[in-house]
Amino acid sequence: MLEEQGMLSTYGGRTNFPVIFEDLVIVSGVHTGWAETALPAQRVMAYDKRDGRLIWTYSTRPRPEDTTYSTPVFAVLNGQDAMVFGGADGSIYAVQPRTGKLIWEYKASPRGVSTTPLVDENGIVYCGHSEQDWADRTVLGGLFAFDGNVTGEITEDQLLWKIPAFGAGRSVPLKIGDRLYAVDNSGLMLILDAATGKEIAKQKLGRIMFASLLYGDGKIYAAESTGRFYILEPTDKGVKILSQARLNDGSEVFGSPIAFDGRIYLPTNVAMYCIGAAENDSQPTPLPARQVAAPGPDPDQVAHIQIAPAEWMAWAGQKTDFAVLGFNAHGHSLGEVEDAQIEIKGGGEIIDHQFVTPMVNGPQAIYVTAKKGALESVARFRVIPSLPWSFDFEDGKVPATWTGAAYRHQPKDLEDGGKGLVKISTIPKGTRSQSWIGPTDMSNYTIQADFFATGTKAGKPVADLPNVGLIAQRYAIELQGSNQLQIRSWTPRLEQRFAKTMPFDWKPKTWYTVKFQSENVADGVTLRAKVWLRDTAEPKDWVIEATDTTPDLKGAPGLVGNSTDSEFYIDNVQVHAN
């Protein structure tokens, strides 16, 4: 996802987890993709779980202020299957899970919504946030309810009720019968009439709340962040505390408790706790009957078409199964559409239900359009030639097929002539980035590029240096602003799991060539790098070398850099087999 689609883990690895609907694995996160999707946005991507083909993509508004924790939930709304989730752009969305087609949107906040919405058996949606309110930017937080059995934009006057300034930004509300239980970030629980939002009672549960509430055996289980664990009994007047205990190992609770086989399981940052008897005769609680979506109007009429795969990166001459899928108005599959008209821009052909990529000399973006009457679907393919590759940017463009590059890098007329790229410093959330320039199954190759620290930031002189470097096979070589040269793995939370660092003095306004090689060996992967003044002879020996015995055996080549302290130029990127 990171190399092919530019999906960001953000904030130390924060993201939500995949969900499965029928034969689709649906993944959501902020992406900086390629060509039209280079602008960062939260995108929801649905893959065929059998073969990994991308079936559909839904993009929220670009340039979000945040990422999101919100995990999609499935429901039947107004007779059709729906997937409901909070967006990084601050909206709550419902889309058809088979097609990604928008059903409705409610703008809750200009900041990201990290709370997972609750949808009850009647299609009423309950959710909260702890950021600025969309309708009143002077208010922080809100808890609200609306009827999800609608289409289009849901406005403020369509809300069933709303409690402003209640910062329910993490914990998912809980509905039991006709009551709603919601906890804000400070551990304050409100017990509400679910239909009206009228307050029945309130109960303080510690100081910090991340976890969602759990209901089972007639009780509510609540785990507060500092390790307090509550068992509550719903009453006519609110709740009664049956038990209150505190974990004695310094645990912090960021996950939610679950129930299974008569026991409660609680994850903490120290341990996984199992609470309950060693032996029990617990019987599972029967689940409510699953709601079944209606066929919808004109159930046999194609109302939506989708090319599969919706996106694909391939080597020149490679082929993949190709189909145009049809769906009715409620998003039910009607099988393949055989009479769709196909247009191909950029080369390639369809032979026996397979798309065959053209032989190309350089990376090529291909757009395939399917039409059936007024219906249209566009798929995007990237075709990559065999090595070697060379990019001098003299066409004044960021290569369209590069992942994560176009928004954060811009074409530039270089000070000493010719053209290159500049890693700009004017995008606050984009000064540190990674970009990829090929397929993910590559190994045993060398990447090389020229770098020039401009000594400027947003047009003003600075004394600091940036970080600049290359990626090979999921490792990075980085020439750091602290006058160090470092080889490391680039796993976001474990970047120092494997690293080797050495002093290396360099200066601004000087061109340097960086070369980085990955080689799979018997006991792992060996990484080698060298750096030299561009206009001088390449040194014979590698400057730094390290072997990782817990190796990444393949991965795409790319660029890495941080222009927070200074912008830098990039030129003459080359990749060749060892």
pLDDT digits (tens, 9 = 90+) for 505-521: 999 999 999 999 999 99
Q: Are 377 and 307 in contact (CB under 8 A)?
A: yes
Query: CA 125 to CA 147: how far, in whole Å?
Result: 6
Q: Which two tokens stand for residue 50?
A: 């059998």
Predicted confidence band of residue 491 (pLDDT cuts 50, 70, 90): low
Q: Would you call the peptide bond into 309 cis, given omega within 30 degrees of 0 as the criterion?
A: yes
Q: Are 442 and 315 in contact (CB under 8 A)?
A: no
Average model confidence (pLDDT) across the chain: 93
Q: Would strands 460-461 and 456-457 be described as parallel, antiparallel, or unpaired?
A: antiparallel
For 35, the 3-state DSSP assignment is helix
Decide which of 281 and 264 is more confident.
264
pLDDT (0 to 100) of residue 576 = 98
Q: Which two tokens stand for residue 154?
A: 């849901």
Q: Which two tokens stand for residue 89?
A: 């752009």
pLDDT (0 to 100) of residue 492 = 52
> What are the residues whose beta carbons fall under 8 Å from the beta carbon of 138, sequence distance 6 or more?
none
pLDDT score of 494 more than 70: no
Cα 238–Cα 259–Cα 218 angle in degrees, nearest 5: 30
> What are the residues whose beta carbons fall under 8 Å from the beta carbon of 286, sequence distance 6 or more?
none
Nearest to 48 by CA among 333, 266, 372: 333
pLDDT (0 to 100) of residue 345 = 97
Nearest to 32 by CA among 432, 488, 475, 439: 432
How many helical (H) and strand (E) elements, i.e. helices and strands, does the chain have?
A: 1, 50
Report the length, in residues, of the chain: 578
Distances (CA, A) of 497 to 41, 469, 494, 511, 560: 30, 19, 5, 31, 18
Distances (CA, A) of 227 to 211, 219, 247, 345, 534: 11, 19, 5, 58, 57
pLDDT in tens, 204-237: 999 999 999 999 989 999 999 999 999 999 999 9
For 200, the 3-state DSSP assignment is strand
Predicted confidence band of residue 495 (pLDDT cuts 50, 70, 90): low
Classified by CATH at the fold level, domain 390-577 comes out as Jelly Rolls (2.60.120)
pLDDT score of 432 more than 90: no
Query: CA 221 to CA 209: how far, in whole Å?
Result: 13
Q: Are 178 and 171 in contact (CB under 8 A)?
A: no
For 340, the 3-state DSSP assignment is coil
Consecutive H or E run containing 563:
none
Q: How far is CA 578 from the centre of its chain?
A: 33
Q: Are 304 and 333 in contact (CB under 8 A)?
A: no
Query: CA 320 to CA 310: how far, in whole Å?
Result: 12
What are the sequence ranges of the domains in the chain?
65-275, 304-384, 390-577
pLDDT (0 to 100) of residue 148 = 97
Mean pLDDT of 460-473: 94
Classified by CATH at the fold level, domain 65-275 comes out as Methylamine Dehydrogenase; Chain H (2.130.10)
Nearest to 277 by CA among 217, 364, 355: 217
Consecutive H or E run containing 2:
helix 2-5
pLDDT (0 to 100) of residue 15 = 65
pLDDT score of 334 more than 70: yes
Query: CA 412 to CA 419: how far, in whole Å?
Result: 6
Exposure pattern of 404-422 as b/e (b: 16+ CB <10 Å)?
bbbbbbeebebeeeebbbb
Cα 161–Cα 167–Cα 170 angle in degrees, nearest 5: 105
pLDDT score of 253 more than 90: yes
Instruction: Determine the straight-line distance between the first and last CA of the chain, rounded to whole angstroms.
Output: 26
Query: CA 91 to CA 269: how far, in whole Å?
Result: 30
Look up the CATH superfamily of 304-384: Immunoglobulins (2.60.40.10)
Predicted confidence band of residue 26 (pLDDT cuts 50, 70, 90): very high
